[in-house]
Chain A
Amino acid sequence: MYSEKVMDHFTNPRNVGEIENASGVGTVGNAKCGDIMRIFFDIDENQVIRDVKFKTFGCGAAVATSSMATELVKGKTIYEALEVTNKAVMEALDGLPPVKVHCSLLAEEAIHAALWDYAEKNGIVIEGLKKPKSDIHEGEEEEDY
């Protein structure tokens, strides 16, 4: 069902953990739907993401997209991180099964939520960053199988 890359990132997830006194923390998803992702950024004075950690409650795809997303943003500036879309994460994982595409949204939203938290803490505005939705499943239609 999953690509080799998804399985690799699920079984050996990169950057699992927490960062104490993180520059920005974002938590998205909800337990009701079965997936929650929390991402921690350590951002330096040049607005570069020096370190990143995550914790995820969710299926194989949710864990793998979380892991891949942290790899894609590590060492990037906050503006470059903003460009990391769910599509980019999915492509980096060689795709996801159609029913799991919504898991990749989790990663994108978590990055945005953590950046939003960083911006608020530092009293800055990150151009192009919208306030993240509290629930990634908002307005999502339940599919009929």
Chain B
Amino acid sequence: MDKKIIYLDNAATTATDPMVVRKMIPFFTENFGNPSAIYSVAGEAAKAVKESRSIIAKTLNTVPENIYFTAGGSESDNWALKSVFENYKSKGNHIITSKIEHHAILHTCEYLQEQGAEITYIDVDENGVIKLDELEKAIRPTTILISVMYANNEIGTIQPIKEIGEIAKKHNVLFHTDAVQAYAHLPIDVVAENIDMLSASGHKFNGPKGIGFLYIKKGLKLKSFVHGGSQERKRRAGTENVPGIVGIGEAARLSFETMSSRIGYEKELRDYLIERVMNEIPYVKLNGHRTERLSNNVNFSIQFVEGESLLIMLDMKGICASSGSACTSGSLDPSHVLLAIGLPHEIAHGSLRLTLSDKTTKEDIDYTVDVLKEIVAKLRAMSPLYEDFVKSNK
């Protein structure tokens, strides 16, 4: 394709860093041995797995034995929730989570409800921040787990994780956080923040797809999730995805090395994008917290236009973005996150998420805003909602 692509959907997935790919390749071809084997070809693989585990442990301020590799964020979330439910039955069956979790959490909760779990879904405010007083009040003697995402995938709001960790500790309840959007995008300290379990996924920070991990604090009574061999300290059987593990370790290393400058760069671009759109396109609302948000996330509600139309037109101009409209979710309802922050349906249908990376340039942002202005004007010109609005304002 000759057309220049401006990729602004980094919350969906990221390009694998060529340095990561280079590091992975020998583990397909030369050092392909099974890490459990005794000969030296396998030794290299075992060593690399160990190294990757220790890089990741360091980034979270924990020890390598607490890092368990999985096939990604969804598996990590499933493991954390299902395992706590199964292993803490003697204490209770109550799980607290938020209304804006990823479906990997929400649908697992629905499943556990069928298995006898009781779930409380805590509200968020208009910025998407969880209501801490409601959270604390929801704790019962039978509460076994609090699971709240670190940062939201749609609107980018960062949750008060340290405060949630303190509440959990005070009431002796386990605390899991789905950090799929946050890990490697902001500093995390599982000790200081009282996190007992944390999910992350490689492809969200320039690592490969199909690899993630679950951090499990030492001493937690969690049994094997996948039964079989003794890999991952007998908690997750199956021959290790060695190239994937090498890849996620290298991606983590690179991400943490460049983190502070990357966050600074992305924030500047993010705020420039927000400012231009808010100043130049009328009837637009920024969703999510203005400052407590991921450095690369922008989410707008553009009134009187529908999200899918917007995405198709942006795509025709080479811009990749995402929306929370019903038409992009495959159901008649728009995103549960946008409804949870109190948006009316018709405004939620017109949402647009743009997620940047350190490869995004100011020129990309300028081009995107210019194109967006034209598209919004075109769609509003054919929108009966806009027509009614203009007429009622005359």
Are the C-beta atoms of B309 and A142 separated by less than 8 Å? no
Are the C-beta atoms of A58 and B345 separated by less than 8 Å? no
In this assembly, does B346 line the interface, its C-beta being within 8 Å of a C-beta of chain A? yes
Known: A57-B304, A60-B309. A36 touches B385 (CB 8 A): yes
Residues of B within 8 A of A58 (CB): 306, 309, 327
Residues of A within 8 A of B316 (CB): 11
Known: A16-B382, A34-B326, A56-B382. A63 touches B387 (CB 8 A): no
Complex Cα distance, B47 from A15, in Å, reads 67
Q: Describe B's contact surface by its main secondary structure.
A: helix
Interface stretch of the complex, out of A25-33, A112-120, A121-129: A25-33
Interface stretch of the complex, out of B178-186, B253-261, B329-337: B329-337
Complex Cα distance, B326 from A62, in Å, reads 13
Complex Cα distance, B331 from A57, in Å, reads 17
Complex Cα distance, B327 from A77, in Å, reads 34
Q: Describe A's contact surface by its main secondary structure.
A: mixed
Known: A10-B309, A32-B345. A55 touches B332 (CB 8 A): no
Are the C-beta atoms of B383 and A57 separated by less than 8 Å? yes
Are the C-beta atoms of A18 and B349 separated by less than 8 Å? no
Known: A18-B387, A31-B385. A57 touches B327 (CB 8 A): no
Interface size band for A? 20 to 34
Chain B minimum-CB-distance residue to A2: B312
Are the C-beta atoms of A38 and B325 separated by less than 8 Å? no
Q: Determine which of A56, A59, A100 lies in contact with B384 in the assembled complex, contact meaning CB atoms within 8 Å.
A: A56
Are the C-beta atoms of B309 and A63 separated by less than 8 Å? yes
Residues of B within 8 A of A71 (CB): none
Chain B 293-308 per-residue mask, 1 if CB under 8 angstroms from chain A, else 0? 0000000000011111
Chain B minimum-CB-distance residue to A33: B332
Chain B minimum-CB-distance residue to A67: B382
Chain A 25-50 per-residue mask, 1 if CB under 8 angstroms from chain B, else 0? 00100011111111000000000000
In this assembly, does A143 line the interface, its C-beta being within 8 Å of a C-beta of chain B? yes
Complex Cα distance, B313 from A61, in Å, reads 13
A-B contact count (CB 8 A): 77
In this assembly, does B381 line the interface, its C-beta being within 8 Å of a C-beta of chain A? yes
Residues of B within 8 A of A27 (CB): 384
Interface centre among A10, A55, A59 (most CB of B within 10 A): A59
Are the C-beta atoms of B381 and A99 separated by less than 8 Å? no
Known: A11-B316, A34-B326. A57 touches B384 (CB 8 A): yes
Are the C-beta atoms of B334 and A34 separated by less than 8 Å? yes
Q: Determine which of A11, A13, A34 lies in contact with B345 in the assembled complex, contact meaning CB atoms within 8 Å.
A: A34
Residues of B within 8 A of A137 (CB): 332
Residues of A within 8 A of B333 (CB): 142
Complex Cα distance, B384 from A55, in Å, reads 5
Are the C-beta atoms of A34 and B384 separated by less than 8 Å? no
Known: A11-B316, A58-B309. A38 touches B384 (CB 8 A): yes
Complex Cα distance, B325 from A35, in Å, reads 11
Complex Cα distance, B334 from A32, in Å, reads 9
Chain A minimum-CB-distance residue to B329: A145
Residues of B within 8 A of A59 (CB): 306-309, 325, 327
Complex Cα distance, B128 from A107, in Å, reads 37
Q: For the complex formed, measure the closest distance between the CB of A7 and the CB atoms of chain B, giving whole angstroms.
A: 8
**In residues 366-382 of chain B, which contact A (Cβ within 8 Å)?**
381-382
Residues of A within 8 A of B387 (CB): 18, 38, 55
Are the C-beta atoms of A16 and B312 separated by less than 8 Å? no
Q: Determine which of B305, B312, B313, B326 lies in contact with A57 in the assembled complex, contact meaning CB atoms within 8 Å.
A: B305
Chain B minimum-CB-distance residue to A16: B382
Q: Determine which of A57, A63, A143 lies in contact with B385 in the assembled complex, contact meaning CB atoms within 8 Å.
A: A57
Known: A27-B384, A34-B332, A57-B305. 5 other contacts (CB 8 A): A16-B382, A31-B349, A32-B345, A59-B325, A143-B330
For this complex, 24 residue pairs linking A to B, each with C-beta atoms less than 8 Å apart, are A11-B316, A13-B382, A31-B346, A31-B349, A32-B345, A32-B346, A34-B326, A34-B327, A35-B306, A36-B384, A36-B385, A37-B384, A55-B383, A55-B384, A55-B387, A59-B306, A59-B327, A60-B309, A60-B327, A62-B306, A63-B309, A140-B332, A142-B331, A142-B333
7 closest residue pairs by CB, A with B: A31-B346, A59-B327, A59-B308, A32-B345, A34-B349, A38-B384, A55-B384
